[in-house]
Structure 1
Amino acid sequence: MELAARLSFGSARARTLAPGMLACGVVGAAAAFLSEHYGAPVMLFALLLGMAMNFLSADGPCRPGIEFTAKQVLRIGIALLGLRITIAQVAALGWGPVGLVIACVVLTIVVSVFAAKALGFQAIFGMLTGGATAICGASAALALSAALPAHPQKDKATLFTVIGVSALSTLAMVLYPMVVQWIGYAPPQAGKFLGATIHDVAQVVGAGYSISPEAGDVATLVKLMRVAMLLPVILVAAMITRRSGATEGGERPPLLPWFAVAFALLVAVNSTGWIPHAVQSAGNDFSRWCLVASIAGIGMKTHLKELATVGFKPVALMVGETLFLALLALALLRWLP
């Protein structure tokens, strides 16, 4: 009887979630189609199409599935990012790129937090935008949003961050290869700069291989090292959330979010070489689909007129973070091997 009751509950739950999840999937598929044919970031298309369909998130059959996709499916996609990284990839680059990545990520986030406070925002907004800029663009923004404390403006801040970081990443993909060629960097040095500064993985790959195969390989590995920094940054965000919950009298969330634990485990298992390439590829594709569907769901939950009220300060903050990261990387590359 108990098993039958659980199966009945699971079936009812699936029927409740199906309309909204299907809507997010359709929007995600449309975003992928547009991205492949017009070259713009798929996350940006998913956001814009999702916002155009925000009437679906009103009270109705799609709302539960949209909420589920925007939160739980997002966490699944973040966990599967661990299949992109191995410890050997990080070790092969030596200590110079490791020091470059750690310094860039830590200093960019710290400066972003102080800059956000100076502009009148909460520190967690600076951590969200700084983490997206310093680590891996839209994926980091979504991961940090999932780990940071609940706030009435969090979805709006997340949406703005994803839009901003996607636009700046695309601009950097075009401009930064010209910058490194103007400076006169050799391909390995150019790859380190591109991998350390451009926000999204796809744009790093595009920029790196537009210079040379060697620059593209180095840029991709350095970028994956930045993706690996997602775990410690999520842990810091989780500690902030935990302290916030205790301070406000709410339930203290776990110190380690389950998706962060899953991310770390997948990195460890992937480093053993036990996972076949076909499984890695399928996991990466599924992760990408989860993230695209979840950002479509977040877009459906937000009204465009709300984003229009953000003003100049958040834009200035993200542009400033991007310029700071680029200048910091240029300075560090003069001293690190």
Structure 2
Amino acid sequence: MSRYTDTTRRLFPGFALAALVAMAAQFLSEHYGAPAMLMAILLGIALAFLSEEPRSAPGIAFSSRTLLRIGVALLGVRISTGMVQELGLGLFALIIGGVFATIGASLAVALATGRDRLFAFLSGGAVAICGASAAMAISSVLPKRDEGERDLIFTVVSVTMLSTLAMIAYPILAAMLGFDARQTGVFLGGTIHDVAQVVGAGYSVSEETGDLATLVKLIRVTMLAPIVLGAALVMRRGAPEGGKRPPLVPGFVLGFLALAALNSLHLLPGWAIEAASAISRWALLTAIAAVGMKTSLRQLLDVGGRAIALLTAQTAFLALFLGLGVALIG
């Protein structure tokens, strides 16, 4: 019992700060019409110094990861197989194609320019699939080398920053391109790197767009399993000796899919759906605030310009691929 009490005491300060930022964002949304998700991450970035404080750092980290997973998993109660069917085979193929095309283009550029193919695969997979989570999973199956940890840290920092910028810019870009709610959801879910920022961008547009963007994003996340497994087989090496291998399919994705299946079978009562939706909304808003509090603009100054250019090009390629595809398929 004392262990749980100690854990609660350790996590509470940071969690309380993230929750307070989330409440402030909700207040701004209700009184001034500003998107709550966008306000949460912008307010969080302004308070990024709090993530460096020993007392608040553990709770902020907990909120940005565990609360995010809980919130996304609970979103499954709002998803059904009807949405997948509505997506259509063409858009489904486009999403999967975007993953493979981005990784393939990254490796092709590395081969043509003599760059590090392992870094190209690591960064390309992070951009194409699910940001930091994909980077950590892919890194675990790459050959052990001196630059491995540095490349992983750089990739995690960079995709987080690019994903944050995309969360703000892509909804505006989608509106400029004349995309409707459905097209915008597919575009946002198919291009933004991290789940948190996909959720923030999608629900800042509309509830329909947010639901569809989350669904599309989770389709990309499930591609982590075949990509990582394929890489492990090709390289004939697994995770570093003694290291803990991450799951091929994250548990929160399985939770999302399980709840979506129950909802599709009409096994969830209305009150449970409403309660889970409300908890999910606040968990995600708090997680978004915590993600902002962990984002430091100064960190980009510590990494190489060429590597940043590569990740930026990969991000732009994926956006162009999905943008053209969405415009053509409709």
Which deviations, in whole Å up to 9, do the C-alpha atoms of 1:118-174 show, x marking residues without a partner? 66545323322233xxxxxxxx43654675657567566445433322323433333
Distance 2:237 2:247 in 1: 12
Conserved in 2, the CA contact under 8 Å of 1:116 and 1:317? no
Q: Is 1:102 equivalent to 2:92 in the alignment?
A: no
**How far apart are the structure 2 equivalents of 1:329 and 1:267?**
25
Give the match for residue 219 of structure 2. Answer: 229
Contact 2:11 2:56 in 1 (8 A): yes
Q: Distance in 1 between matches of 2:199 and 2:58?
A: 31
Cross-structure match for 1:260: 253
- Tell me the amino acid that sits aligned with residue 68 of structure 2: L
- The match for 1:196 is 186
**Are 1:22 and 2:16 matched, yes or no?**
yes
Partner of 1:3: none
Please list the CA deviations of residues 195-222 of structure 1 after superposition, one character each: whole Å capped at 9, or x if unmatched: 3323435645776x8xxxxxx96x6675
Q: Distance in 2 between matches of 1:22 and 1:221?
A: 27
Identity %: 28
CA distance in 2, matches of 1:229, 1:17: 31
Residue 62 of structure 1 and its aligned partner are, at CA, apart by: 3.1
The RMSD of aligned alpha carbons is 4.2
Partner secondary structure for residue 267 of structure 2:
coil
Deviations 1:62-108 (A, max 9, x none): 34433433443333234334334211211134322322333234323
In structure 2, what residue type is equivalent to 1:286? I
SS at match of 1:250: coil
Aligned residues between the structures? 304
Give the superposition deviation at 1:229.
Answer: 0.6
Contact 2:72 2:256 in 1 (8 A): yes
Q: Which runs of 5+ in 2 are unaligned?
A: 141-148, 193-197
User: What is the TM-score with the length of structure 2 in the denominator?
Assistant: 0.69
Distance 1:35 1:154 in 2: 36
Aligned counterpart in structure 1 of residue 84 of structure 2, from 77, 82, 90: 90
Match of 1:170 in 2: 168
The reply on whether 1:49 has 2:46 as its aligned counterpart is yes
- CA distance, structure 1, for counterparts of residue 175 and residue 319 of structure 2: 12
SS in 2 for 1:94: helix
User: In 1, Cα distance between the equivalents of 2:284 and 2:184?
Assistant: 23
Is the CA contact 2:132–2:155 (under 8 Å) kept in the aligned structure 1?
Answer: no
Task: Extract unaligned runs of 5+ from structure 1.
Answer: 1-6, 132-139, 181-186, 210-215
> Which residue in the other structure is 1:137 paired with?
none
Letter in 1 for 2:165: A
Residue 328 of structure 1: aligned partner = 321
C-alpha distance in structure 1 between counterparts of 2:110 and 2:292, whole Å:
24
Quick one: structure 1 residues 193 and 300, their matched pair in 2 at CA, closer, same or farther if it must change by over 3 Å?
A: closer
Distance 1:146 1:43 in 2: 26
TM-score w.r.t. the length of structure 1 is 0.68
CA distance 1:265–1:55, shift in 2 (3 Å): same
Q: Given the alignment, which residue of 230, 240, 246 partners 2:239?
A: 246
How big is the shift at 1:260?
2.9
Residue among 124, 127, 131 paired with 2:125: 127
Partner of 1:79: 73
Asked if 2 retains the 8 angstrom alpha-carbon contact of 1:43 and 1:166, the reply is: no
Q: Which amino acid is the alignment partner of residue 67 of structure 2?
A: V
